[in-house]
Structure 1
Amino acid sequence: MQRTALLALALLSVADWRAVSGAPCEDPNGCEANFNCNKTLEHDQVPQASCYISKCERAIQDHVQFEFNAAFTYLAMGAHFAQENVNRPGIAKFLLGAASEERSHAILMLDYLNKRGIPLKPKNARYEYVTDPVIQDRLNKLEMIDYKDALTQALNMELDVTQRIYHVIKACEDDYHGADVFTNPILDEQHHGVRNLQGAIKTFDNLVEGAEANPQYKNYAEYTFDMGVLKGEIAV
């Protein structure tokens, strides 16, 4: 009985080692097979997708387009405030910079896929001129957005993107490289942006407090805030 127990313990230890180390195993759904690291490729089969977790890859594929959509929304708002008849260079600079940041996040995700030989799916790579009247109306409203609403919409977008990135990280929790890429720098930048925007909105509210009945004072307070953003005195 003692010999049987020792043998069972030894077999259990070997099984644990194989699972942890990713050693090949007989179960096609276990061990290394989960990571799609196929080491039996012939020269005529290269290149092809390798060493990835399917649910992580699907989550990233679905998220890339959302990052680009957020970038385009920031771009539309930034272009509005950069116009001469609006002339709010501070928030325009912030919004255009936010567009670049969201685009850089998408590029990081594309780079992750490229390292594994995974092409971007056509549904996420196709961008066409908007003809849907509902979407056109939403974009047109961005051209008339006021200062406070722009800050609030930016905050809501950052919160939405952050929540979605958490879902990507959850899907990639077994892909240590993927989870690391999306935790830092992407998730760190998201929380940094959320904190700055909440503080900026509070500062803006303090400046315009009581100015609703005096449009000239409100415009001056908005201008003062915008100059603070432009000079880096107010973080957004």
Structure 2
Amino acid sequence: MISKKMEKALNDQVNFELYSAYFYLSMSAHCASIGLKGFSNWFMVQYQEETFHAMKIYQFIIDRGGVVHLQAINEPEQSFASPLEMFTKTLEHEQEVTRRFNELSDLSFVEKDHASRIFLQWFVTEQIEEEANVNEAIDRLKMVGKEKSGLFMLDNEFATRTFVAPTA
């Protein structure tokens, strides 16, 4: 059985993961509207990942005998000055996600909730990859600068990214 404190914290994280999905869906829509379909795809994959994360936590709450409490999702930002700005905001957002998962992990220690601690380790590890992917995109965007051909090449590359749901 999950403690009420852990249940509430995980429900808050479900909400934040769904907000994250909205955040990336907004960026995907913006990129599509300015003709960057590859960038749109990159952010759509992020949307799919965040939705998967929310549902993974949702199911964990249920499996532990908790109650899922769905909350209102905040409206995300709708327009952006550049792809670099979007990825910079993405990095800041992912750093916040990392902070939140670290706090959840800390709470699992305080609550002596070993099942939650083991469950949350997957997310802590996942965040290393998330931040690294975004940092790589930022580095590449900085390399191309305002060079349209470089942006075109990145757009084509980002179009090939796909979502594959983890099996673990």
Using the size of structure 1 for normalisation, the TM-score is 0.62
Q: Which SS does the other structure have where 1:62 is aligned?
A: helix
Aligned match of 1:188:
125
Counterpart contact for 2:10–2:57, Cα < 8 Å: yes
| From 35, 45, 65, the counterpart of 1:117 | 65
Counterpart contact for 2:108–2:116, Cα < 8 Å: yes
Which segments of 5 or more consecutive residues in structure 1 lack a partner in the other structure? Answer: 1-50, 212-217
How many residue pairs get matched? 159
Counterpart contact for 2:87–2:134, Cα < 8 Å: yes
Are residues 1:206 and 2:143 paired? Answer: yes
Distance 1:93 1:196 in 2: 15
Distance 2:71 2:102 in 1: 25
Deviation at 1:77, TM superposition (A): 0.7
| From 122, 127, 130, the counterpart of 2:72 | 127
- Letter of the aligned partner of 2:10 in structure 1? I
Larger gyration radius, structure 1 or structure 2 = 1
Aligned match of 2:45:
97
Deviation at 1:228, TM superposition (A): 2.5
Are residues 1:147 and 2:76 paired? Answer: no
Distance 1:144 1:202, change over 3 A: closer
Aligned match of 1:5:
none
- Letter of the aligned partner of 1:224 in structure 2? M
Deviation at 1:168, TM superposition (A): 0.9
Deviation at 1:191, TM superposition (A): 1.0
Q: Over residues 99-152 of structure 1, what are the superposed CA-to-partner deviations in whole Å (9 max), with x where a residue is unaligned?
A: 11111111111111111232223xxx1437x7xxxx6xx63xx33441111111
Deviation at 1:204, TM superposition (A): 1.5
Q: Over residues 51-75 of structure 1, what are the superposed CA-to-partner deviations in whole Å (9 max), with x where a residue is unaligned?
A: 2233322211222111111110100
Counterpart contact for 2:28–2:44, Cα < 8 Å: yes
Distance 2:11 2:79 in 1: 30
Are residues 1:179 and 2:117 paired? Answer: yes
Are residues 1:221 and 2:150 paired? Answer: yes
Q: Which runs of 4+ in 1 moved over 3 A?
A: none
| From 79, 89, 106, the counterpart of 1:170 | 106
Using the size of structure 2 for normalisation, the TM-score is 0.84
Which segments of 5 or more consecutive residues in structure 2 lack a partner in the other structure? Answer: 162-168
Distance 2:65 2:3 in 1: 13
